[in-house]
Amino acid sequence: MIFTQHYLDCLSHASYLIGDETTGRAVVVDPRRDVEDYLGEAAQRGLRIERVIETHIHADFLSGHLELAAATGAPISFGEGADVEFPIEPLRDGQRISLGEVTLEILATPGHTPESICIVVYERADDEIPYGVLTGDTLFVGDVGRPDLYVAAGYSADALAATLYGSLHAKLLNLPDPTRVFPAHGAGSSCGKQLSNETSSTIGEQRRTNYALMTRDVDQFVAAVTEGQPVRPRYFAFAAHRNRERRPLLDANPVPLLDIGDVRERSQAGAVLLDSREPDDYACGHLRGAVNVGLRGRFAEWAGNVLSPERDIVLVGDDALACESKIRLARVGLDRVVGQLRDLAQVLAQRPELVEASARLTIEQLAELRGLEPRLQLVDVRGPQETARGTIPGAHCVPLPALTGSLGDLDPAEPVVVYCASGYRSMIAASALRASGFADVSDVIGGFAAWQGAGLPSSGGNAAESAGGTPQVGPRAAKAMVDDGALLLDVREPDEWCTEHAPTAILMPVGRVRDRQNELPRDRRIVVVCRSGGRSAAVATSLREAGFDAVNLAGGMCAWAAAGLPVVNRGGGSGLVVHQEDPLNCETSLQELVGGVVMPADHFYVRNHFATPVLDPERHELAVTGAVRRPLRLGLRDLNNLPAQSLIATLECAGNGRSQFDPPVAGERWRYGAASTAEWTGVPLAAILERAGLTAGAHDVVFRGADAGLVDGAVAPVRFERALSVADALASEALVAFAMNGEPLPLQHGRPVRLIVPGWYSVASVKWLTDIEVIDRPFDGFFQTRRYRFEWERDGAVVREPVRLQRVRALIAQPVDSASVPSGEFVVRGVAWSGAAPVEHVDVSIGGGPWQRARMIGEYRRHSWQWWELITRCDGRGVRTVRARATDGAGHTQPEKPEWNRLGYGGNAIQTISVVVE
């Protein structure tokens, strides 16, 4: 059997090609509109596509059934009852389709839509256990299809939900537990409310963990799945209608280039101007009246929410983006792309009267503006599930899909400030408002995440209410219950728990609750919490059915933290010494080094310059642009599909040891623990640059993180950016990493993607990586030329050199400073490393005596510290010093004192501790 899942990240859409190797017969299920991938795979594998099957009439994208049928001559099939304008071969419940040995069985599963079907796949016709089941929008990983999309057609959401319950329990849940589940969508889709980022599962796993399958009561199921659904995107109704029509096929022709005069004429005739550059580029200068939807995000979905399918579209961003913009717009039915502005850069330079910049506010500027401008209209364009966890006080909550229909609620003559979670949607909204005639519109850089991260006031729900039969409590009511003796039960996964959790909470992941119910008290109230309240609501309902007094914390830990209630373990645990809470900066406690080479993530030192950005791993894309032949946009799934490597590398802050400088210097007062070692997994940077193709003039490679803030009196935030020369980038063994110690990157260590440059001070290892830009000149950014440079006075002149390779260093981990040791023989252990060359030896001096050569132990790794050990003795009693120094293969030995420099970098002086000999 040939079975391929084609996953389209930008729409969270999965389609499938299934074929029989022996007969060469194949079907495609739920294809997207641009069908070249299916045709190419079929040709490569020697398959004939004999049927195109749709699991239902889709609303969230324009399906490719017409395009694929036209290309192959294959018939189109839907479930019985599908009302469409073109010929189909309907599929009935229980019907079997043979491709040879490979056999498909149709299950009628109405509920999400009346005509929905699922397709059971057997590798061999007589197999008792299916290979898998294609569940369309009936069953997702972690959720089920929303039942409210047909309300406008006269259907009741409750009635469809009840039908969906029957389909799940009478059909899908009768399949064997090992049956694989392959849905049509993953996380980010608006076809459900809490889809997992996993794109496959099993029936058994979903039976145990999917909130919608936890109840055996149809009324509770209906209440659970009809409540809290995301706002229906504006384009859904149009796309569903087009999927029923005999519409024109996808136009794959290039977009015609238009001069600025033609663009203005089309605009005056009613065309909408669409700029698909990223928000920061758009904000710096764009054609007046253009709407911005950045191509890197969920471009087609958000364009469908703010653009009318009845209007022509003229693309006015970079012409290099025109082809991709057109295809992605067509995927949601926005076919009326009539042209692309020729040479945007020239227009911006030569026609300033047609150009405007966008006002973007920092959270500090917004805080000031709220106090000075009583007429301010503050608009939160996030969805209801997001705003339930907290908003900026005084904000009007208008979800972006509803914005164009709510313009009458806002005064176009008064100032408007728009914000979202991070700044992507808010720029879309702000540009749409400006295009609609609003004169004074700004958006907020970093959005609500930056506002909340800065500790600025936000509203949070505190009222208790009941929903779906299970009591819901706000965060302050939950805190009062816990203070009165209730148990706080956190049902998130361990990595979420480690990031932050409430004091006194106990961890019991949702998939383990049923098996561990006997550990829970029946004589105490249980307050159940997760991240946002979805998983915990299902668990609370299940516990109440089992006789427990359980309530759900509405809004989850997001609401708890937003209400200002205590949160622990935000990166600082028993193994870390916290220097600063906001932004978080903490170093490893040296006694925590005892053990192996690799350290647990929660004991790994943390260095932050600005507030921690919270990025959505499922929506995040890494852009590779500039002096390259093939610009790239790589989602987390793309990176995971590329050949990966793992390496164990020691990261060290350039300021490690700064507290030893005399006279003191400014900056964090690091002792010796701003260094840690982990195993990093990712894609080699050289492979990504090779994939992009460097041009002949490439000079530096710039890496940009999502973190930003004010520095040195700047009035606008500065992003954290660093660069490597092209030669260093290719030779450094650097990784674009997505995993740490075998797990996804923790938030404080760069989730979802960061750079790792082994052997270099960790300023080079940019966290929260969003952009890689290849430039044709030396990079002169703030953190390249004004920070992280050595500045020495030598012979009366200031000498400046860049911070690069880690300097040789040995650390004493055992005994710890001021420890007691027995008179006689004792052991001194520690680690040593150097970025320039392997450590050749470590020497130890006791009580000011001669240097003794330590033994290097453990496996040597080029970019990792290595353990060393010395068995020595100290007779008599009293206080003795213990000192350790390392020498590397390049001839570098640790100095007695750090070489003083203005910013306190590279302080690798010999470490000295004291012990009490007893």
Tell me the fold of 359-453. Oxidized Rhodanese; domain 1 (3.40.250)
Mean confidence (pLDDT) of the chain? 90
Query: Looking at residue 595, what is its pLDDT?
Result: 54
Question: What is d(CA 282, CA 267) in angstroms, rounded to the nearest whole number?
Answer: 19
**Average pLDDT in the 679-697 region?**
96
**Average pLDDT in the 582-587 region?**
84
pLDDT band at 594 (very low <50, low <70, confident <90, very high): low
**Average pLDDT in the 607-623 region?**
90
* Higher per-residue confidence, 513 vs 543: 543
- Encode pLDDT of 116-128 as tens digits: 999 999 999 999 9
Q: What is the DSSP letter of 220?
A: H
- Encode pLDDT of 371-394 as tens digits: 668 899 999 999 888 888 889 888
Query: With DSSP H G I counted as helix, E B as strand and the rest as coil, what are the percentages for the chain, rounded to 5?
Result: 25, 30, 45
Question: What is d(CA 487, CA 624) in angstroms, rounded to the nearest whole number?
Answer: 48
Cβ proximity of 817 and 830 under 8 Å: no
Give the pair of three-digit tokens for residue 26. Answer: 């194949």
H helices present in 473-592, as ranges: 475-483, 494-499, 534-545, 556-562
- Encode pLDDT of 741-765 as tens digits: 999 999 999 999 999 999 999 999 9
Highest mean pLDDT out of 112-116, 350-354, 711-715: 112-116
What angle (nearest 5°) sits at the alpha carbon of residue 222, between those of residues 221 and 226?
120
Tell me the fold of 465-562. Oxidized Rhodanese; domain 1 (3.40.250)
**Residue 417 amino acid letter:** V
pLDDT for residue 412 is more than 80: yes
pLDDT for residue 466 is more than 50: no
**Average pLDDT in the 710-725 region?**
86
pLDDT band at 292 (very low <50, low <70, confident <90, very high): very high
Q: How far is CA 345 from CA 70, 285, 491, 632, 677, in A?
A: 40, 10, 52, 21, 46
Q: What is the DSSP letter of 472?
A: E
pLDDT band at 368 (very low <50, low <70, confident <90, very high): low
Query: Looking at residue 796, what is its pLDDT?
Result: 78
pLDDT for residue 464 is more than 70: no
pLDDT band at 102 (very low <50, low <70, confident <90, very high): very high
pLDDT for residue 573 is more than 60: no
pLDDT for residue 460 is more than 80: no
Q: Model-level pTM? A: 0.55
pLDDT for residue 823 is more than 90: no
Query: Looking at residue 697, what is its pLDDT?
Result: 93
pLDDT band at 494 (very low <50, low <70, confident <90, very high): low
DSSP labels for 584-637? EEEEE-GGGG-S-SS--GGGS-B--SSPPP---TTT-EEEEEESBSS-EEEEHH
Query: Looking at residue 583, what is its pLDDT?
Result: 84
Query: Looking at residue 863, what is its pLDDT?
Result: 94
Strand, helix or coil for residue 7? strand
* Higher per-residue confidence, 535 vs 207: 207
Query: Looking at residue 792, what is its pLDDT?
Result: 83
Highest mean pLDDT out of 474-478, 717-721, 733-737: 733-737
**Average pLDDT in the 664-689 region?**
93
pLDDT band at 354 (very low <50, low <70, confident <90, very high): very high
**Average pLDDT in the 30-41 region?**
97
Question: What is d(CA 216, CA 408) in angstroms, rounded to the nearest whole number?
Answer: 45
Domain ranges of the chain: 2-236, 254-356, 359-453, 465-562, 577-802, 809-917
Query: Using CB atoms within 10 A of its CB, is residue 569 exposed (0-12), middle (13-18) or buried (19+)?
Result: middle
- Encode pLDDT of 320-331 as tens digits: 899 999 999 999
pLDDT above 90 as % of the chain: 65
Q: At what angle do helices 218-226 and 157-170 cross, to 10 degrees?
A: 120
Closest CA to 772 of 644, 645, 635, 626: 626
pLDDT for residue 468 is more than 50: no
Give the pair of three-digit tokens for residue 387. Answer: 């705003």
Please, what CATH class does the domain formed by 254-356 belong to? alpha beta
What angle (nearest 5°) sits at the alpha carbon of residue 862, between those of residues 858 and 868?
30
Query: Looking at residue 571, what is its pLDDT?
Result: 42
Is there a shared CATH topology between the 359-453 domain and the 465-562 domain?
yes
- Encode pLDDT of 393-404 as tens digits: 889 999 999 998
pLDDT above 70 as % of the chain: 95
Residues 6+ apart with CB under 8 A from 874: 821, 823, 824, 826, 846, 847, 880, 915, 917
Please, what CATH class does the domain formed by 577-802 belong to? alpha beta
Query: Looking at residue 570, what is its pLDDT?
Result: 43
pLDDT band at 614 (very low <50, low <70, confident <90, very high): confident
- Encode pLDDT of 216-238 as tens digits: 899 999 999 998 888 889 899 99
Residues forming a β-bridge with 799: 792
Least confident of 156-165, 244-253, 666-675: 666-675
Question: What is d(CA 784, CA 854) in angstroms, rounded to the nearest whole number?
Answer: 38
Query: Looking at residue 456, what is its pLDDT?
Result: 63
pLDDT for residue 455 is more than 70: no
Pick the CATH number of 809-917 from 2.60.40.650, 3.40.50.12160, 3.90.280.10, 3.40.50.720: 2.60.40.650
pLDDT for residue 671 is more than 60: yes
> For the domain bounded by 2-236, which CATH number is listed?
3.60.15.10
pLDDT band at 469 (very low <50, low <70, confident <90, very high): low
